[in-house]
Structures are given as structure tokens and as C-alpha cells.
Amino acid sequence: MTLLALNKPFGTICQFSPHPTRPTLAECIDLPDVYPAGRLDADSEGLLLLTDDGRLQARIAEPERKLPKTYWAQVEGAYDETAVVRLRGGLDLGDFVTLPCEAREIPEPEHLWARNPPIRYRASIPTHWLEIKLVEGKNRQVRRMTAAVGKPTLRLVRVAIGPVDVFSLNLVPGQWCELPQQILTLSGQRSRRPSR
């Protein structure tokens, strides 16, 4: 069984088959028969786990497994506690109601890599950062949640899945490493060094 962690770059599509206009996972990983456990849209960055084991793929991706995913979202507008309280409580997004989640304001992350291209900058509109931790992972969910409370997401980075976080792995965008399978069940286990 293979379990990989990849720091997915901005703009990369979560597929291995060629895409006419976007880079794919094949440009980052050259191992056969591994597939993403969950997805990360092209405009989002950060931690993506891949495996060749269907049961492990389900454990990582399915909300019933309660494996939390942690995101840092740079959102438009000034901080608003009411908006954060609404995020925590669950939101009706029309086609589904989100489960309650953890959400809080965080300082601008100093150790976060630069995005290429950078987000648009508008001097007249402030931004701030939120940390959102949820067990779901529906299509563009975090972006839809922040938009629903009036705080559109400008940049979205998944920093952790369960106990695995992209910073402790020292992965830069496009870099991956192999992980021990037990890392998802044993807290505090150290991962291996980056392979690329």
C-alpha cells in the first residue's frame, strides 16, 4: 500500500490525465496507480493525499470517518465575528446544509509560500485570514461557505488532513513524500523526508 502527501500547487488540476489548459498531478508525481483521496479544486493549494488503496481512500475522503481537514482562507473584507459564528454553526448552501465546523481568525501566515500568480490586491478593500476545520469536503465547500457569510475567498490553502500537515512535512508546492499508512491512526508519528 502506498500513501503519498503532495503540496498541490495553485492552478493544478486533481487528475493525472492530460488537460488542455492546466497542469495536472502527472507533472508533480510520476508513480503509477496512485489516486487522490479527496479533491482540491484547481484554484486551491496545499495538502493532497494520494493512495493506491481504495479502503484508505475512503477513510480519508468520507465525512463519516470524521477525519478533519484544516484550511487557511484569505477572505475579502474586515474581520466580522458574526460571520465566523455563522460559519461554525452550519450553513444552508441551497443544495446542502454544512455540518458544524471550527472557524477562527488567524494572523496572516508568515511562513506560507508565495502564490504564483499572487492574489489581486485592492488597497480600498481589506483582507484577513480564517482557519476553518471541517470533516466534509464537498465541491468548493469552503469557498461557498465564506461567500455565504459575505466574505469571498481570495486564497485557499489546505494545510492539514487529520494529523498530517504540510508544514511538518516541509513540502514546497509541487513536492511530495511517501508516508507510513499508520500516520492516519497514530498521533505523533513522524513522517518520512520529502522525496522531491
User: Which residues does 62 contact at the CB level (< 8 Å), separation at least 6?
Assistant: none
**CATH fold of the domain at 1-65+163-185:** Alpha-Beta Plaits (3.30.70)
What is the percent of the chain with per-residue pLDDT over 90, rounded to a whole number?
Answer: 70
The pTM for the full model equals: 0.90
- What is the distance between the terminal CA atoms of the chain, rounded to a whole angstrom? 20
Confidence band for 190, pLDDT divided at 50, 70 and 90: very low
pLDDT for residue 185: 64
Average pLDDT over residues 105-115: 94
Cell numbers for 62: 468520507
Residues annotated as part of the active site: 41
Cα distances from 159 to residues 162, 168, 176, in angstroms, run 10, 10, 14
- pLDDT tens digits, residue range 17-46? 999 999 999 999 999 899 998 889 999 999
Strands 153-161, 164-165: pairing kind: antiparallel
How confident is the model at residue 189, as a pLDDT? 33
CA distance 183 to 47: 15
Query: Over 50: is that where the pLDDT of 132 sits?
Result: yes
Can you tell me the distance from the alpha carbon of 53 to that of 58, in angstroms, rounded to the nearest whole number? 9
Domain ranges of the chain: 1-65+163-185, 68-161
Among the four given CATH numbers 1.10.1060.10, 2.40.30.10, 3.30.70.1560, 3.30.360.10, the one describing domain 68-161: 3.30.70.1560
Q: What pLDDT, on a 0 to 100 scale, did the predictor assign at position 122?
A: 78
Topology agreement, domain 1-65+163-185 and domain 68-161: yes
Stretch 81-100: mean pLDDT? 93
* pLDDT over 70, % of the chain: 92
Tell me what pLDDT residue 123 has.
Answer: 75
pLDDT at 5 over 60: yes
Q: What is the pLDDT of residues 166-175, one digit of tens each?
A: 999 999 999 9
Type and span of the H or E element at 57: helix 54-61
Residue 102 has pLDDT above 80, yes or no: yes
Give the DSSP H or E segment for 50. strand 44-51
> Could you give the C-alpha distances from 60 to 36, 68, 163, 170, 193, in angstroms and in order?
10, 9, 11, 21, 21
Convert the pLDDT of each residue in 138-177 to its tens digit: 889 999 999 999 999 999 999 999 999 999 999 999 999 9
Distance CA(67)–CA(164), nearest Å, equals 11
Beta strands 44-51; 153-161: pairing state: parallel
Of 158, 77, 157, 153, nearest in space to 114 by CA: 157
